[in-house]
Amino acid sequence: MIISKQKPFEEVLEDLEGLTNIIILGCGECATATRTGGPEEVADMKAKLEEHGKKVLFTEIVHTGCHELDVKRILRQAKDACGEADGFLVLSCGAGTQACRTATDKRVIPGCDPLFLGNIQRSMDFAEKCSHCGACVIDDYGAICPITRCAKGLVNGPCGGTSHGKCEVDPEMDCAWTLIHNQLKKEGRDDKRRMVHEPKDWNVIRHPGAVVDRGSDKQKMGSEV
Amino acid sequence: MGTYRDACMSGNFVVSGEIGPPKGTNVARMLDDIDLLKDKCDGLNVTDNQSAVMRLGSLAVSGEIVRRGGDPIFQTTCRDRNRLGLQSDLLSAAFMGITNVLCLTGDHPVVGDHKQAKGVFDFDSVHLIQCCKKMNAGTDWAGNTLDGATDFFVGAVVTPEADPLEPQMYKFARKVDAGADFFQTQAVYDMDNFQRFMEQARETIAGTNVKMMAGLVVLTGLGMAKYMNRAVPGIFVPDALLEELGSVAKEDQLKKGMEIAARHIAFLRDNKVCDGVHVMAIGKEEIIPEILARAGVVR
């Protein structure tokens, strides 16, 4: 799940300065589940913008906000409103906002700050456990990712900032290396506890990432593209 | 004055001091500290943006110590540079006559004075040790041949009072495997705990020529001691020392702290607990000679 948070309304208003006719897009997937750009939030945003003198021409919850063909289809169907619009306010992650970018030449304004790929721990509690680093090695770490869950992304053990099993960055946060160490101990894998790991190969996730033509034998990924 | 490496290899008890570069260009006091300590210690650490607070660089100050006839221990962290920057600075260090390198992870930017900075951590301290060793063998990290190898004496750190200790000891073992020549510990105050730590450490370094230096930060008063206990990860000041500091008037607590430091140096040396000490008096370097004299360390 992509975890985002809505921008403060004052910031949204500032970004919309000079624009009167607005179209609001939400997302039926992550932004709905995380209550940042689902039906309720989009309706709420519409009402607040109208209170502040904006004219909301059209709103839509795109089934999958990052699906560029979906967004293009919806904007084609709402051609008249799109023609009249001064800008699009998108309540989703940055992928959804940029899907809208591919469907119009007008101003596209993000209404949310994207945070991380999150696990859902309970209804509205989310935690980052994977940061898409391109080469998963977490079996060596008891299936606890040091790249993501250690604040420094250390691959060879804890730093000196760990204290009582917590992290120097946030005393409420577990030290990933205490978790990793204890898990490997439970698994009886002492060799992995002392193993020296190579530094991360950052070239495997050189930005911007792209996977082209997956499913055909021409499949290419990441840095090979 | 010999070099820090020679002192470590001599089998004699080794003493290093520490210089904290200033935040700004007024270096007079730092230069005084260097001149005061360079002949009284076997080597002088220079901190690298310590506590993630931006300061004059450890490379430039280490070079200045060389020019002044001292032997610097160039602290270098993985926080501010990627593997290109780190290796380039290591070559610069070699060019400036710096031979001792202390490889550190570095504090997270969020604890420092540029909280919005991106922490790099492309390498970790283990990689940095391995990298120094590769450069000593004549190649860079990527395996390219260097036109002239380095000759670094490579140090690392370990935290004897880490809680939990076991993951820390495994990291220590990784640093030993990576080829560290010497270790400086985080500040220690409980000599019984430190002796127990050293028993474990000796098992890990058995069969190597690794040297172990106890880190000692001089307690300058009861308030500072309590703060260290409360706020600095991996530091434990036992109640007995707090009581000892508190037993004298506030204005005499620095003297008491110096007495404690001198006593610990003598204890560690006389009982052959470790190979030397790294003495830090953060911001009060002028008190180091008196502490060393009291401990009977004469250079």
- Domain extent, residue B159, equals 4-220+272-286
Q: Look at residues A90, A87, A96, A88 and name the one whose alpha carbon lies nearest to residue A111.
A: A90
**Which one of B75, B103, B108, B229 makes the best mutation probe of the A interface by having the most chain A beta carbons within 10 Å?**
B108
Q: What are the chain A neighbours of B81 within 8 Å (beta carbons)?
A: none
**pLDDT higher than 90, residue A222:** no
B122/A202 Cβ within 8 A = yes
More confident residue, B282 or A48: A48
Residues in chain B with pLDDT values less than 70: 1-2
Are residues A65 and A159 part of one domain?
no
Task: Indicate if A184 and A89 belong to the same structural domain.
Answer: no
CB contact under 8 A, B83 and A158: no
Q: By three-state DSSP, how is residue A39 classified?
A: helix
Residues A94 and A167 in one domain: no
> Could you report the per-residue pLDDT of B250-282, keeping only the tens digit for each?
999 999 999 999 999 999 999 999 999 999 998
Q: Is B179 part of any domain? A: yes
Establish if A69 belongs to a structural domain. yes
pLDDT for the residue B3:
93
**Residue at A191 is within a domain:** yes
User: Hey, what amino acid is at B187?
Assistant: A
pTM over 0.90: yes
Q: What is the ipTM of this complex?
A: 0.94
Domain with A144 in it: 133-200
pLDDT digits (tens, 9 = 90+) for A69-119: 999 999 999 999 999 999 999 999 999 999 999 999 999 999 999 999 999
For residue B226, what are the CA distances in angstroms to B163, B202, B231?
18, 30, 8
Residue B116 domain-assigned (yes or no): yes
Whole-number Å distance between alpha carbons of B63 and A151: 32
| DSSP per residue, A13-24 | HHHTTT--EEEE
Looking at the structure, tell me whether residues A110 and A166 fall in a common domain.
Answer: no
Q: Kindly report the nearest CA distance between residue A168 and chain B, in angstroms.
A: 8
Residues in chain A within 8 Å Cβ distance of B131 = none
**Domain-embedded: residue A123:** no
| A154 in contact with chain B, both atoms CB, cutoff 8 A | yes
Q: Please name which of A128, A189, A148, A174 lies closest in space to residue B164, comparing C-alpha atoms.
A: A174
Kind of pairing between the strands at A220-221 and A211-212: antiparallel
Q: What percent of chain A has pLDDT over 70?
A: 96
Residue B185: its H or E element: strand B182-187
Q: Which residues of B touch A181 (CB under 8 A)?
A: 164, 166-167, 170
pLDDT of residue B71: 98
Q: Given this model, what pLDDT does residue B1 score?
A: 45
Nearest by CB to A193, from B170, B177, B233: name it. B170
> For A55, phi and psi rounded to 5 degrees?
-105, 115
Contact between chains at A178 and B178 (C-beta distance less than 8 A): no
From the list A160, A165, A194, the residue facing B174 with the nearest CB is A194
**How far apart (Å, rounded) are the C-alpha atoms in residues B111 and B119?**
11
Instruction: Check if the beta carbon of residue B71 is closer than 8 Å to that of residue B3.
Output: yes
Give the distance from residue B266's alpha carbon to the nearest chain A alpha carbon, in angstroms. 26
The phi and psi torsions of B196 (rounded to 5 degrees) equal -65, -40
Cα of A22 to nearest chain B Cα, Å: 33
pLDDT given at position A66 = 97
The token duo for B66 is: 């060389």
Residue B205: which CATH number? 3.20.20.220
A140 touching chain B per CB within 8 A: no
Q: Pick B174's closest partner by Cβ from A157, A159, A180.
A: A157
Nearest to B167 among A157, A163, A199 (CB): A157
User: Alpha helix locations (H) across A1-132?
Assistant: 9-15, 30-33, 39-51, 68-77, 79-84, 94-101
Same domain? A192 vs A98: no
Beta strand A112-122 with A2-6: parallel, antiparallel or unpaired?
Answer: antiparallel
In a domain, A163, yes or no: yes
Examine the domain organization and report whether A137 and A111 are in the same domain. no
Domain total of chain A: 2
CA-based nearest distance A7→chain B, Å: 19
A216 part of a folded domain: no
Task: Give the type of residue at B48.
Answer: D
Domain count along chain B:
1
* B42 within domain boundaries: yes
In a domain, A192, yes or no: yes
Q: Are residues A88 and A58 in the same domain?
A: yes
Regarding whether A98 and A17 lie in a shared domain, the answer is yes
Give contacts of A 181-200 with B, CB under 8 A.
Answer: 181, 193-194, 196, 198-200
Q: What is the CATH number of the domain that holds A66?
A: 3.40.50.2300
Residue A128 lies in a domain: no
The chain B residue lying nearest A184, using CA atoms, is: B167
Q: Is B177–A178 a contact, with Cβ atoms under 8 angstroms apart?
A: no
Q: For B79, phi and psi rounded to 5 degrees?
A: -75, -40
- Is the predicted pLDDT of residue A221 greater than 80, yes or no? no
Closest chain A residue by Cα to residue B179: A196
CA distance B230 to B236: 9
Inter-chain touch A199–B177, beta carbons under 8 Å: no
Residue A169 lies in a domain: yes
Distance CA B273, CA B125 (A): 25
Judged by CB atoms closer than 8 Å, whether chains meet at A157 and B233 is answered as no
- How far apart CA A57 and CA A196 sit, in angstroms, is 59
